[in-house]
Structure 1
Amino acid sequence: MKPRKSREGTAHAPGTLGRTIPMLLLTLLVIALAVPAGVAVSPGFRGPARPPEPAAAGPWQQLPASLSTPDGGPGTAGAMRPLSDAAPVPEAAVLTAALTATLKTDGAGSFSGVVQDAITGKVLFDRSGDEVRAPASNIKLLTAAAALRTLGPDRRFSTRVVAGPKPGSVVLTGGGDVLLGAGKSAPDAVLGRGGLATLAESTVDALRKAGTTGPVSVLLDDSLFTGPSLSPAWSPEDVAAGEVAPLFPLALNSARFDPAVTTGPRPRDAAMTAAEAFAARLSAAGAAAGLTVAPGVARLPAARKPSPAAGGQAGKVLAEVQSATVSQQVDLMLRTSDNYLAEVLGRMVAVASGKPASNAGAVAAVLRQLEELGIPAATLRAADLAGLTLDNKVSARQLAAVVRAMTTGTDTRLRSALAGFPVAGLTGTLGSRYTDTSTARGAGLVRAKTGTLNTVIALSGYVVDADGRLLVFSFIGNGLTPGAAGNKTALDRTASVLAGCGCR
């Protein structure tokens, strides 16, 4: 039976954790606020350039009397102190013994893994760390790093309406935003930051000012991406189940019919679905202004793509909405393990790198960024950028190196990825995990990207140990017994050992 994608879990509200481990609720809420603050102010996250500070005794792991704010301002009670690169590094032999006791498969297969001190890079645990394995969704860490380096954290993608090749025609032009909303633009949102209703209203205003009176026809330009819209490595069953969909440079709700429903089949033509929704909103907005919209939407042939150089008004921008920033999109992609968004970000990396915006171009552009980061990628194999295939091959050492680059590397643009890592027991694909006594010590402390296929499970991320030392890690299980619950628990217990370890 062909390996299939297994859903990685859904986010749970922090309050759900209290049903299982109520005594940790306050601690988890404090950590959820405090860890990002530690990221912002800690020398450990900026690298060892600053002189070391005195080591703290782990105040972030003590049960607080009341909630505190990250800055430790008035009215707070014991806000988390900055991490210190003077905190002791765990002893490799002690840590290895502890992890060996927990990193065991439930049935068939095996685990590989690497744990490193984030600041020095010292390897503290190594089990087959250079063996390339199927990483499942952990490959999204590579996509995130490449997007932040190539596009920049503050980059936004534009969806434009331009004047068409014939009078009275307009062209909806995709620029990479697949998180469009059907309603008005929501400036504080990530999903729906750019809204089709707002775009339609602005288009009507522009048409009125231009004196347009006749029926308006809507065309679609989705030519930014090239090549097949599906990776040849993807299983047709996974596509049919909605794990991913044909890729286009514009879509509603990350190519979902309903933003509130993140499972089940997706639109087969997300760009046309978005264009038809835009045309409907243009018709509604135009009715109030005396403008009519012709029924139907047609794709604009590439040879007729409007260009200002052609003369007249063809190609003139009539209206525009912008996406959330790349940093915000990476955050969403990592937290929810959004396959469609990961693949689109990869193709936008290809566009920015001057490569074809195809599956092959995106993979090549992402791997090039790893080499520029100083992470050897000669042994790495990538067939997609979302992790839906066993054809991907990445080592635990390579994944740990990516996480280390994000936490302490010299390219500070990568810091933007850190907040997107799911928090154990609280957010994203880790929201329903770390809720029993064997893993509770890692709840609120472990931040890691999950990865799950039927025979694969992976977890890569970062954690501050009991002494205040920042550690990065990656664990990958391959050849596992499908559905064996103990494998996920083994990874969570192992990461919890890192959180609770002084290991000296």
Structure 2
Amino acid sequence: MTTHGRDLGRHPGRAARRLTALVLGLAVTALLGTGAVPAGAGPSDGGLKGALDTILSDPRLDGGGVSAVVADAATGATLYQRNGTDRLMPASNTKIATSLAAMGVLGPDHRFSTDVLAAGRQTGRTLRGDLYLRGTGDPTVLAADYDRLAAGVAAAGVRRVTGQLVADDTRFDANRLGRSWAADDESSYYSAPISALTLAPDTDYDAGTVVVEVVPGGTEGARPRVRLTPADGGIRVANRATTGAAGFSNTLSVEREHGTNTIAVTGSLPLKAAAVKEWITVQDPTRYAATVFAAALARHGVRVEDDRIRLGRLTPATAKTLAAHRSMPLRELVRPFMKLSNNMHAEALTKAMGHQATGRAGNWGDGLAAVGRYLRGQGVDTGTIRQVDGSGLSRMNLFPAAELSKLLLAVQDEPWFGDWYAALPVACAPDRAEGGTLRTRMCGTPAALNAHAKTGSLTGASALSGYVMDKGGRKLVFSVVLADYLASSVKSVEDAVVVTLAGSDTGKGTVEAVRPERTRTAPAPADVECSWRKPARC
């Protein structure tokens, strides 16, 4: 027996789950057709349907959309569904599809490389030609890594370059921003431009951004002091702010001016106030990375005679490698990606999949086609979804909870599933590297340190999908996607679903709904993922 080109005999667990789900699904369809089962019921509703229907009838969702599915992780049997096939905006639950496809298409051992190559002839300490800095999409390269690359060039005996420094970002296409990304997010670090050659200023690996720290001046009326990290990326600061009287309101604003690499600092920062840190996107991530590398070359005694950096030129096939940096393997990279819901990682991986699949410059079209092929291989009906980016930042993405849960069921048989599962945020795990975007949620409940799930947040859209163990030791898959609500936050509604599952013995039908206000969920902004607000709020 085969399905979607896969031999189910090689995956007996997956085969059993799909067969069980198919039989149960047909049975429920037949009952629905006769009116014997109310719409929204599953094959084993018992007390579960009533409990979850009560939670998902929260007044905050009035007039909005709800798509929810709960399934037995071992058999694939659907235990509950409410509008499971409705297509709603998944926000960062889109990263479930992207990350799983990346593990399947690129492989858990995939590493990005960043290389320095010499095109020309080296005579003594002089390179007579150009020096190439070539990227392949690594979103985790730090300034310290560029410094080590520069040290490698010096160690190779090069002290003088007669040509130029050339930044080769041709592994990806030149389209920097995703489809329908909001224009008012231009400065926001979670919406940074995508390049095959980029730089992250910190170990959250926020590629394509610079950290701006503003400290009050020494006297009232003085200009605040502004410091950039890294300091040598060629970013201009227009400091128009003032230091206000102690105790007065902080009206400081830090934003990048449209279409430029100029960061405008305006407003007032009170005297003796704490420093303000903002993570701001750069206009051109390729030039930014190359400028930081050029400064590192100078520090290591390598002089490039033509100091004009040339962008976007393909490295000659005959060029000789002088220094190389390799990223952590994908099985490790997926942790900061998923724990902190890093948009730039999602888009870099999407374009990398596009390049691997076609050999062309990585682009969203080819990358998303590769994601779609992977999803179909897992039994997902891609005709019911729309995915236009890798991260979920676009408001054009649409996923039904039924397809997300189907995907979460299918991938349990992948050989690398343990690595991917470990990358999911964990409810109330206090370490940010473990709890991620769930670090402050569901504390003091049966779901704490139990639920492993991916969050999702945009204005009017929220989602939570993953795995939880119920009171009887039964592992469950769940997906809750909420949309078009007007409330400030509906996170506690999602959490109430998961806490109810964790505190119930679903096999025996002993289920009692947990009220959302009793989920011990810390207040969180609902318009974006909590990890997208800096300094970190989760």
| Normalised-by-shorter TM-score class | 0.7 to 0.9
Question: Is 2:353 aligned against 1:360?
Answer: no
Which of residues 161, 170, 178 is equivalent to 2:131?
A: 170
Q: Is the 8 A contact 2:465 2:480 kept in 1?
A: yes
- TM (norm. structure 1) is 0.72
Instruction: Tell me how far 1:243 sits from its aligned partner.
Output: 2.5
Asked whether 1:441 is paired with 2:402, we answer no
Indicate the SS of the match to 2:191. coil
Question: In the alignment, what sits opposite 2:440?
Answer: 432
Give, in angstroms, the shift of residue 165 of structure 1.
Answer: 5.3
Q: Which residue of 2 aligns with 1:161?
A: 116
Match status 1:246 vs 2:193: yes
Q: Which residue of 2 aligns with 1:125?
A: 80
Structure 2 CA distance, aligned partners of 1:263 and 1:343?
22
Identify the match of residue 225 of structure 1 among 172, 182, 189: 172
C-alpha separation in 1, matches of 2:198 and 2:277: 14
Name the counterpart of 1:372. 377
Task: Give how far 1:213 is off.
Answer: 4.5
Counterpart of 2:427 in structure 1: which amino acid?
Answer: A
- Name whichever structure is richer in strand by fraction: 2
Alignment partner, residue 5 of structure 1: none
**1:84-95 equivalence runs, <5 A:** 91-95=44-48
Q: 1:307-337 deviations in whole A, cap 9, x for unaligned?
A: 12xxxxxx11111010011111222111000
CA distance in 1, matches of 2:138, 2:294: 17
Question: Residue 495 of structure 1: which of 481, 494, 498 is its match?
Answer: 498
1:134 and 1:123 mapped to 2: Cα distance?
A: 22
Structure 1: distance between partners of 2:342 and 2:388 = 17
Choose between structure 1 and 2: higher helix proportion: 1
1:255 to 208, 222, 227: 208
Shift of 1:343: 0.6
Distance in 1 between residues matched to 2:312 and 2:479, nearest whole Å: 46
User: Matched residues in 2 for 1:177 and 1:482: separation?
Assistant: 38
CA distance in 2, matches of 1:262, 1:145: 33
Distance 1:198 1:143 in 2: 31
2:309 is matched with which residue? 298
Shift of 1:130: 1.1
Change (3 A) 1:301 1:156: closer
CA distance in 2, matches of 1:421, 1:352: 25
Larger Rg: 2
CA distance in 1, matches of 2:138, 2:277: 18
Say if 2:284 is the partner of 1:284.
no
1:468 maps to 473
Counterpart check, 1:351 vs 2:312: no
Q: Match of 1:358, as an amino acid?
A: N
Separation in 2 of the partners of 1:297 and 1:180? 23
Distance 1:263 1:502 in 2: 46
Unaligned runs of 5+ in 2: 1-10, 15-42, 122-127, 201-206, 212-228, 231-275, 430-434, 509-538
Whether the 8 Å contact between 1:356 and 1:362 is mirrored in structure 2 is: no
Give me the whole-angstrom Cα distance separating, in 2, the residues matched to 1:428 and 1:47: 33
Contact 2:166 2:310 in 1 (8 A): yes
Please provide the CA RMSD for this pair: 2.4
Corresponding residue number in structure 1 for 2:35: none
**SS of structure 1 residue aligned to 2:404:** helix
Counterpart-to-counterpart distance in 2, 1:48 and 1:225 = 38
| Residues 222 and 271, structure 1, Cα contact 8 Å, conserved in 2 | yes
Alignment coverage as a number of residue pairs: 388
CA pair 102-296 structure 1, distance change in 2 beyond 3 A: farther
Per the alignment, in what secondary structure is the counterpart of residue 330 of structure 1?
Answer: helix
More displaced 10-residue stretch of structure 1: 253-262 or 322-331: 253-262
* Cα offset, 1:220, TM superposition: 0.5
Alpha carbons of structure 1 residues 273 and 356: separation in structure 2 relative to 1, 3 Å: closer
Question: CA 1:300 to 1:273, structure 2 compared with 1: closer, same or farther past 3 Å?
Answer: closer
CA contact (8 A) 2:136 2:172 kept: no
Determine the structure 2 residue equivalent to 1:327: 331
Deviations 1:372-407 (Å, cap 9, x if unpaired)? 22222111111211111221111101111222233x
1:5-58 CA-to-partner distances (Å, cap 9, x unmatched) read xxxxxxxxxxxxxxxxxxxxxxxxxxxxxxxxxxxxxxxxx9749xxxxxxxxx
Aligned to 1:199: 149
Check the 8 A contact 1:220/1:297 in 2, yes or no. no
Q: Would the aligned equivalents of 1:335 and 1:429 in 2 still touch at CA under 8 Å?
A: yes
1:92 Cα deviation after fit: 3.1
User: 2: CA distance between counterparts of 1:272 and 1:336?
Assistant: 26
Percent of aligned positions that are identical:
32
Equivalent residue for 2:286, pick from 258, 271, 296: 271
Q: Could you tell me whether the CA contact under 8 Å between 1:132 and 1:379 is conserved in 2?
A: yes
Conserved 8 A contact 1:247-1:344: yes
1:19 maps to: none
> Could you tell me how far 1:148 is from its partner in structure 2?
0.3
SS of equivalent residue, structure 1 residue 498:
helix
Which of 409, 413, 416 in structure 2 is aligned with 1:413?
416
Alignment partners' CA distance in 2, 1:128 and 1:500:
24
Write the distance in 1 (CA, Å) between the matches of 2:456 and 2:311.
Answer: 39
CA shift in 2, pair 1:228/1:170, >3 Å: same
Unaligned runs of 5+ in 1: 1-45, 50-89, 184-194, 309-314
CA contact (8 A) 1:216 1:292 kept: no
Partner of 1:40: none
Aligned to 1:102: 55
Alignment-derived partner of residue 40 in structure 2: none
TM-score by length of 2: 0.68
Task: Give distance in 2, aligned partners of 1:107 and 1:176.
Answer: 40
Q: 1:356 and 1:135 mapped to 2: Cα distance?
A: 28
Query: 1 or 2 for the larger relative contact order (CA 8 Å, sep ≥6)?
Result: 1
